[in-house]
Amino acid sequence: MSEFQIEIKGASYSYPVREGYNVKAVRNLSLSIRKGEFVALTGMNGSGKSTLAKLLNGLFQPNEGEILIDGISTADEDNTFEIRKKVGMVFQNPDNQTVATIIEDDIAFGPENIGVEREEIIKRVDEALEAVGMSEYRTRTASKLSGGQKQRIAIAGVLAMKPDILILDESTAMLDPNGRKEIMDVACRLNRSGITVVNITHNMDEAALADRIVVLRKGRVAIDGTPKEVFASGLIEACGLTLPPITELARELEKEGFEFDGVVINAEELAEGLCRLLK
Amino acid sequence: MSAIEISNLNFVYSKKTPNEKQALKNINLSVEEGAFLGLVGATGSGKSTLIQHLNGLIKPQDKKRMSVVVNGMSATDRKNLKKLRFEVGMVFQYPEYQLFEDTVAKDVAFGPKNMKLDKEEIDRRVRRALEVVGLDYDKFASRSPFDLSGGEKRRVAIAGVIAMQPKILVLDEPVAGLDPIGRREILALVKKLQKEVSPTVIIVSHNMDDMAQLADRIVALKDGEIIADGTPKQVFCNRNLIKEAGLDLPTATSLADMLIARGVELPRDIVTMEELAKELGASLRKKRSQAVADDNDETKIGEDADGGFYAESYDEDVEVEGVEVNGVEVNGVEDPDGEDEDV
């Protein structure tokens, strides 16, 4: 078995837009992710992030190349069930991911569909709600929740399937700052418990929280490294992105004569570096 | 002159049901023509309910005691409704979801058509609106709005609103869901629209950094009430109040607080990154010139060995930042297929 949990080997995917006109969203892309990694997948609108996510759980099949999840190819239809179970996805809009009125029914929907025993379903619903900190909402209706809470319920629904990999496809984009924080806290906690997390985002502060950032540009991997490596690469703007506000500020300050140890990616580091020079 | 006068406005959703909720409480607000007002508040604080009163989408529940007057017109009066819709341009969240025509030009023309303008005037306005939002008429007019990228779609949606040449432009989270370059472009566009089309702008946002930088007045809502109203400095530097409202401090303000807590001398009213960089630069220059002066009394400020920290050099950088808005030109790399579709 390979040392990688996710292996994308030279995958390409095109959308037909109109007759005789295709858009290549993913082009001959290769990427490997280890079990337990926390990866931020970023890139400007149209860079192929969401297409790649849909390739990962077999919603789309690559036109060329191959995608393996724990060594299993997504191309084989017999594996679709297995892949969907392994790779859980949470989408952008908190308002269209619930299927039932009552929260516990909503979370039970996935395991019910794959024929999990009743006792086991109850246990999974308990655990999933606990993991996202929503246990007390068990018998409430989803429509009354805040955006952040709705997304936590969506994550719980995925967790009830016992996935190995959690993909957040811009799941925080429509949330307010508090909702964003809630989701990122849950994602970090799940990652610590062993789940591989792929967070698709174009919020650079959020990307900086990951262990590894993969930047896509025109359907290919343009930059791949730790947040510090990626933000120090000097290629972020060329990929249509910007540095996190703190990193941007540090750069401005360097023009003013300040010097920092390498690239600064969080407020703590910046404050420390500044104090050293000013006190 | 006041563009907007609101007095004693209350609003209750689902009145006399178990779900009854007071969304607005005794709102009194006067907005001057030419204002750039940032409306902030946690989710559920009443921002959307308030802005929907401005063009009559929601009417005051008690005509006798409450009033909403926009450009001298009462929003409670039915006969003003049509004019109100044209004079108050509403750009809702994710406005691109409201695109519906099969070409960009038709979509932008929808508003002016409803104003019963003649054909030439409609055409002129469509061209002008597309030009203002930065979309080339010849390139985009006949394309389907659904073939465009996310940022382009949003521009088309905004063009559709400004084609009515509203005197007041209201935008609800105009940069939500856009990538960083898209955000920068749309925010620069809003500034431009204020100058060229709609003198009064109200923007609803959760991003305090953007608000501190763009708005000249901030109104903060909490549980349907106005809890703060003033300049960005007045509102954002009231740290307890911002916390109470469930909002974040601007990044620059919280960073300055971290530094102050560690003994760095800084003013307590910093709200933008520019101000913070300027203050910190000045502190460093002061410290270095003191060190240099200690070594050698002859050295003048700004002539330190490292060079490059003259006050002017900073101002130039800010200028450059301000105009660097077009991502396509910034990255300057050609797409091999010449396609840039949204996926």
Residues A214-239: tens digit of each pLDDT: 999 999 999 999 999 999 999 999 99
Residue span of the structural domain in which A160 resides: 6-243
Query: Which residue in the set B147, B258, B333 is minimally distant from A267, CB to CB?
Result: B258
B70, pLDDT greater than 80: yes
- Mean pLDDT for B243-247 is 91
Q: Is residue A50 one of the residues assigned to a domain? A: yes
B338, pLDDT greater than 70: no
**Contact across the interface for A25 and B258, Cβ inside 8 Å:** no
Query: Which residue in the set A44, A176, A204 is minimally distant from B42, CB to CB?
Result: A176
Q: Is residue A253 one of the residues assigned to a domain? A: no
CA distance A202 to chain B (A): 6
Give the chain B residue whose CA is nearest to the CA of A179.
Answer: B43
Determine the residue among B149, B179, B306 to mutate to test chain A binding: the one whose Cβ has the most chain A Cβ atoms within 10 Å: B179
Query: Which residue in the set B277, B306, B340 is minimally distant from A249, CB to CB?
Result: B277
| A140 at B interface, C-beta within 8 A | no
CA distance A116 to chain B (A): 35
Please tell me the CATH code under which domain B2-248 is placed.
Answer: 3.40.50.300
Residues A125-139: tens digit of each pLDDT: 999 999 999 999 999
| A245 at B interface, C-beta within 8 A | yes
B310, pLDDT greater than 70: no
Which residues of chain B make contact with A277, given a CB cutoff of 8 A?
Answer: 284, 287
Q: Is residue A210 one of the residues assigned to a domain? A: yes
Q: Is residue A249 one of the residues assigned to a domain? A: no
**Contact across the interface for A15 and B341, Cβ inside 8 Å:** yes
What pLDDT score was predicted for residue B293?
77
Q: Compare A235 and A97 and report the one with higher pLDDT.
A: A235
**Contact across the interface for B340 and A46, Cβ inside 8 Å:** yes
What pLDDT score was predicted for residue B327?
33
* pTM attached to this predicted model: 0.83
| A45 at B interface, C-beta within 8 A | yes
Looking up residue A137, the CATH number of its domain turns out to be 3.40.50.300
CA distance A279 to chain B (A): 7
**Contact across the interface for B283 and A278, Cβ inside 8 Å:** yes
| A59 at B interface, C-beta within 8 A | no
Q: What is the SS3 string spanning chain A? A: CCCCCEEEEEEEEEEEEECCEEEEEEEEEEEEECCCCEEEEECCCCCCHHHHHHHHCCCCCCCEEEEEECCEECCCHHHHHHHHHHEEEECCCHHHCCCCCEHHHHHHHHHHHCCCCHHHHHHHHHHHHHHCCCHHHCCCEHHHCCHHHHHHHHHHHHHCCCCCEEEEECCCCCCCHHHHHHHHHHHHHHHHCCCEEEEECCCHHHHCCCCEEEEEECCEEEEEECHHHHHHCCCCHHHCCCCCHHHHHHHHHHHCCCCCCCCCCCHHHHHHHHHHHHC
| A94 at B interface, C-beta within 8 A | no
**Contact across the interface for A238 and B287, Cβ inside 8 Å:** no
- Mean pLDDT for A96-122 is 92
**Domains in chain A, number:** 1
- Mean pLDDT for A143-163 is 91
CA distance A93 to chain B (A): 11
Q: What is the mean pLDDT of chain A?
A: 92
**Residue ranges of domains in chain B:** 2-248, 272-327
* A·B CB contacts under 8 A: 147
ipTM of the complex as predicted: 0.84
Q: Is residue A250 one of the residues assigned to a domain? A: no
Give the chain A residue whose CA is nearest to the CA of B274.
Answer: A249
